[in-house]
Structure 1
Amino acid sequence: MTMVDAAAYLRRIGVAGPVRADLQTLAHLQERHQKSVPFETIDFNLGLPIGMGEEAVEKIVDRRRGGGCYELNTAFAVLLRELGFPVALLPGRTLHNGQRQVLGAHSGHMMLRVEADGESWLTDVGFRWASRHPLRLSDRRRQKDENGEYLLTDGDEGDVVIVHNGVPRIRLETREREIEDFVPTLWWFCTSPDSPVSAGSVWASLVTDDGRVSLLDRTLTRVENGQLVREVLDDEAFAAACRRWFGIELDRLPHLPPGPADEPA
């Protein structure tokens, strides 16, 4: 990744340079990334190739798209390293899907350990319940954040369990991995009939000043004037919502459940 690419990436997330490799900058970059680059699984649904690292940077910066956690966090790692931050890729396992406890695939999630101001911090720009700002890895007290309250607890075999608003969300391994270590699980996500992103629902989510706007299949949920607003979208409205809320221009629709116009009278 060149300095020109880094400058383009910073413009993509609305950050004006120059930047320094310190905690204040890291927190700003993480928040701006979450507000600018959506988590979205449309390409998984369409069966399109999914890349990581510099391939994901091209998708995010040049094509102005979002992506899944592997795409977003490896791209963010590329940017952070270019800016002078030491970064490690850490594998995680999801423990809750928002409705019930689950036991997700091994290495089914990824987070970053970033060194700044002499300490290790956890960052994540690819998860619905991720903190808005970095979490201090060594701190076992409750950590307040714009997205709620976080508690890091010690799990078995040196793992760390990340609890968000009282709900265990991620079991994180602390041994650094290489990007190639995530390729088999990415292949599973892209090809398995049990995959939640290729054979399941279409998701998109982006942090806003009011909270978050989210798309699950045909249902768009957002906060407006302090009120939760929920809309069920037909095909035209789905494409318009992708454009308006997530900056995604679709040349074809993903595979969606039947829309309002398709329901029997």
Structure 2
Amino acid sequence: MATQIVEGLAVEITGEGDAVLCIHGLGGSSNMWTPVAAALHSFQRIAPDLPGSARSELTFAPLSIEGLVEVLAALVRRLGLGSVHVVAHSLGTIVAQHLAVAKPELVRSLALFGPLVAPPEAGRPAIRARAELARKGVVAMQEIADAIVHGATSKETKTERPAVLAAVRELIMRQPSEGYAQSCEALAAAQPAALERIAAPVLLVTGDQDGVAPVASVEAMATRLADASVVVLAGCGHWTTLEQPQRCAQELEAFLARLR
């Protein structure tokens, strides 16, 4: 595995074969995909830290979904990848959907974990408030991390998987405050993509205790897509690849195998 700095982005590139672009969500990093790396052993895995997240610079501001789409499309082209399979989590699934609509020639398939079309209107003010809290610095980031560990993981994860709680907490606590704040604002402003225009096959994976991507919403998403399947993971919250890595890897591997 090697990390390259590409136009200010830290990008992990590993393996050979058809390319898979991995897009993490809010508070995530390329490490969101480490637990499912075995499913991608026969692919070239391209896993950037998004602008303002983890090790990447805040390469443009203010952050927006449209801007993230352009950054990722430019990355795909700069690396000479042609078209890619896209794997994404949470906020990254919104970016992935917009990428598939705006640049369909770049997207071969979508595997979306904890997927959402856009935040519900009632939830947007709280996301904006989180952005303002994040700007208060490291103490506030710990407060945010603790709240997310409490609210976005399953009861089984809380009682049986303490290492997962630590991993989620560490991911969020180590985010740059301003980058995280602007990522929150990008999420709060996100608008739905035109799902009916996505022709690529789509895998939708959510947890039965995912309050961000509840099962009913994910199933409704699937009805708007031309070629979609839904998998619901038992005992799982929103941090799917960390909470249920074996199941996520199995579902991802099987999905990609069907496309070969």
TM bucket, shorter chain: under 0.3
Decide which structure has the larger Cα Rg and report it.
1
Task: State the structure with bigger RCO (CA 8 A, min sep 6), 1 or 2.
Answer: 2
Higher strand share: 1
Higher helix share: 2
TM-score by length of 1: 0.25
